Amino acid sequence: MTWELVLALGAGSYLLKMLGLVVIGDRPIPAALDRCLALIPAALIAAIIVSNTLSIGHHLQIDARLAGVSAAVVAASRRAPVLVVIVLGAAVTAVVRAIAG
């Protein structure tokens, strides 16, 4: 990737953001659209987690990572502290790798 391409993509991104501000201006966003826009970050993070958990390159790979993420999801759903969720997910992944491996 060349610096020219990086700069062009950055400028294009900046221009698209500015275009959104110019087009919308001071008009309020409809409530339904505002609710949908608020959900985009959570959906993107979920997609990144799933793709990194279940794939290696372009291949489906189900391994110890799935057990660790599953344990972390259960702990998070039970409102465990973030540190506990992270340590539990890593520990479960390590135990499954040690048993399977």
Query: pLDDT tens, 10-58?
Result: 999 999 999 988 888 888 889 999 999 999 999 999 999 999 999 988 8
Q: With a cut of 90, say whether residue 70 has pLDDT above it.
A: yes
Domain extent listing, the chain: 30-100
Beta bridge mates, 95: none
pLDDT at 23: 86
Q: With a cut of 80, say whether residue 1 has pLDDT above it.
A: no
Reported pTM: 0.66
* CA dihedral of 98, 94, 50, 83, whole degrees rounded to 10: 170
Helix (H, G, I), strand (E, B) or coil at 96: helix
Cα(23)–Cα(4) distance, integer angstroms: 28
pLDDT at 57: 85
Cβ-Cβ contacts under 8 Å for 60 (sequence gap 6 or more): 54
